[in-house]
């Protein structure tokens, strides 16, 4: 019996060790010096999400190349706790990384906690502005503006008078997308019906943003209810929605965060991607790193990236969409109005 217990212990230990190594993977090497360069912690999904994690990493890579510094990026585990996040950031700060960046609203609280302990390190959190501090930069985007513009595209291109919205997780960040989208639809063609579906609620982020089956079924449901243009702000779950939409006839999908028409993993379905509500995470992260490393004057407080500075926008890479001159002109006009302040977009539904 004792042998058996021992074996069980060994098996478990082995399993845990393997998981641990798999979790703590880093994307870049690190040197031994005190100032090690950029530390970055990914949101759920990590590098390879084809979305804002990848975009943030691109900004970091660009800075690493340009300023000739090193860096380390850590990916979280699915369903981890708040303590894990605090520990990840603490680890980066303790090892001497400066600046330290938390990608995603999930890092809002933990960045605050860790920043108080390391006053000499500059921190940034992407997508959250509810916890500020002297050494924290909050990099936020006016997603409601880009969502407004793609909402207009949806309303102008629908034939059934019904458009869909699929949100990954029901939280303020995604509700911003919904709010902008609804207003854009109403602005372009009043009376158009918007079907809204949220896949999950916090803290169930992996189901909301990482389960293509969820997105696929939600999209099928909206198609069957008569929607013919569907905007999904749901990370990889949205990939499932786009696949489903591509199997129906004469329906459009709207992408999110990056220009999904040019996304390689969606190449087979790109014809149905009308446009995408883009968000320049890469530029924001790069700007922040530059302020710390090059200008020696770290950004702090809330920095909003909006239509004005191309922090957000909409894409016209699909030639079928570019050919719809009238629609594109109308959207461009509204864009100018938003930039000039003539048209206000609410960030709450």
Partner 1 sequence: MTSTPTTTTTTSPKAPKAPAAPTARKTIRRQMSLPVVLLLVAAGLVLFSAVRVVTGAHDLTSDGQAAAALQLAVPVGLAGLGGLWAERAGVVNIGLEGMMILGTWCGAWAGYQWGPWVGVLVGVLGGALGGLTHAVVTVTFGVNHIISGVAINILAGGATQYLSRLAFDGVQGGTPVQSPNIDPLPRWTVPHLADWLTDINREHWFLVSDLAGLCGGLVRDISALTVIAVTLVPLSFLVLWRTPFGLRLRSCGEAPVAAESLGVNVYLYKYIGVITSGALAGLGGVFLAEVTADFYREGQTSGRGYIGLAAMIFGNWRPGGLAMGAGLFGFTDSLRLRNNDNVRALLLLLAVLLVLLALWQLYRRSYLAASFSVVFGAGSAVWYVLSDEVPAEFIQAAPYLTTLLVLAFSSQRLRMPKADGIPYRRGEGT
CB of 236 to partner 1, least distance (A): 6
The residue (of 22 and 323) whose beta carbon lies closer to partner 1 is: 22
Q: Does 160 bind partner 1 (CB under 8 A)?
A: no
Nearest Cα residue to 293 out of 114, 39, 55, 27: 39
Q: How far apart are CA 193 and CA 158, in angstroms?
A: 10
Q: Which of 185, 236, 316, 338 binds partner 1 (CB under 8 A)?
A: 236
Q: Which stretch binds partner 1 (CB under 8 A): 2-10, 61-69, 277-285, 322-330?
A: 2-10
Q: Which of 335, 287, 283, 339 is nearest to 308 (CA)?
A: 339
Query: Interface with partner 1 includes 40 (CB under 8 A)?
Result: no
Gyration radius of the chain's alpha carbons: 21
Q: Is 239 near partner 1 (CB under 8 A)? A: yes
Residue 26 vs 117, nearer CB to partner 1: 26
Q: Which of 109, 220, 290, 308 binds partner 1 (CB under 8 A)?
A: 220
- Residue 156 C-beta: closest distance to partner 1, Å: 25
The string of DSSP letters for 316-328 reads: --SHHHHT-HHHH
Question: Applying CB under 8 A, does 333 fall inside the site for partner 1?
Answer: no
Residues 243, 251, 279, 324: which binds partner 1 (CB under 8 A)? 243
Of residues 100, 139, 218, 338, which one binds partner 1 by CB under 8 A? 218
Q: Which is nearer to partner 1, 14 or 301 (CB)?
A: 14
Stretch near partner 1 under the rule CB under 8 A, chosen from 1-9, 119-127, 139-147, 252-260: 1-9
Q: Which of residues 261-290 bind partner 1 (CB under 8 A)?
A: 264-265, 267-268
CA 187-262-253 angle, to 5 degrees, is: 40
Neighbours of 98 (CB within 10 A): 23
Does a cis peptide bond (omega within 30 degrees of 0) precede residue 203? Answer: yes
For the CB of residue 22, give the shortest distance to partner 1 in the complex, in Å.
4
In angstroms, what is the minimal distance from the CB of 241 to partner 1? 11
Q: Which is nearer to partner 1, 213 or 333 (CB)?
A: 213
**Per-position b or e across 226-260, b if 16+ CB within 10 A of its CB:** ebbbbbbbbbbbbbbbbbbbbebeebbbbbbbbbb
Q: Are strands 312-314 and 273-279 parallel, antiparallel or unpaired?
A: antiparallel
Looking up tokens 């458009």, which residue turns up? 163
Backbone angles phi, psi at 192, to 5 degrees: -70, 135
Q: Is 195 exposed, middle or buried (0-12, 13-18, 19+ CB in 10 A)?
A: middle
- Please give the residue ranges that form the binding site for partner 1 (CB under 8 A): 3-4, 7-8, 11-12, 14-16, 18-23, 25, 45-50, 54, 75, 78, 170, 195-201, 204, 206-207, 210-214, 216-218, 220-225, 236, 239-240, 243, 264-265, 267-268
């Amino acid at each position: 019996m004792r042998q058996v217990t021992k074996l069980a212990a060994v098996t478990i230990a082995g399993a845990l060790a393997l998981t641990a190594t798999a979790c703590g993977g880093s994307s870049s090497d690190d040197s031994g010096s005190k100032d090690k360069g950029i530390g970055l912690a990914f949101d759920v999904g990590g590098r390879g999400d084809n979305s804002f994690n990848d975009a943030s990493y691109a900004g970091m890579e660009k800075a690493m190349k340009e300023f000739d510094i090193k860096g380390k990026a850590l990916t979280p585990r699915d369903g981890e706790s708040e303590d894990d996040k605090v520990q990840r950031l603490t680890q980066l700060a303790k090892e001497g990384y400066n600046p330290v960046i938390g990608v995603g609203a999930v890092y809002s609280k933990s960045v605050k906690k860790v920043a108080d302990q390391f006053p000499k390190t500059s921190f940034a959190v992407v997508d959250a502005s509810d916890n500020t501090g002297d050494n924290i930069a909050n990099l936020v985007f006016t997603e409601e503006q880009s969502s407004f513009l793609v909402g207009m595209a949806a309303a102008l291109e629908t034939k059934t008078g019904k458009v869909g919205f699929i949100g990954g997780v029901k939280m303020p960040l995604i509700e911003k997308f919904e709010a902008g989208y609804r207003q854009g639809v109403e602005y372009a063609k009043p009376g158009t019906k918007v079907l809204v579906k949220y896949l999950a609620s916090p803290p169930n982020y992996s189901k909301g943003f990482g389960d293509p089956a969820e997105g696929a079924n939600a999209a099928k449901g909206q198609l069957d209810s008569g929607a013919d243009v569907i905007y999904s702000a749901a990370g990889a779950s949205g990939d499932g929605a786009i696949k489903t939409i591509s199997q129906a006839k004469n329906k459009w999908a709207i992408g999110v965060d990056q220009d999904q028409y040019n996304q390689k993993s969606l190449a087979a379905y790109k014809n149905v991607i009308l446009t995408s509500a883009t968000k320049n995470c890469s530029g924001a992260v790069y700007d922040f790193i530059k302020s710390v490393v090059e200008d020696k004057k770290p950004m702090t407080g809330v920095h909003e990236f909006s239509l004005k500075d191309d922090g957000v926008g909409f894409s016209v890479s699909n030639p079928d969409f570019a050919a719809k001159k009238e629609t594109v002109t109308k959207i461009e006009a509204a864009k100018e109005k938003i930039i000039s302040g003539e048209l206000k977009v609410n960030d709450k539904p």
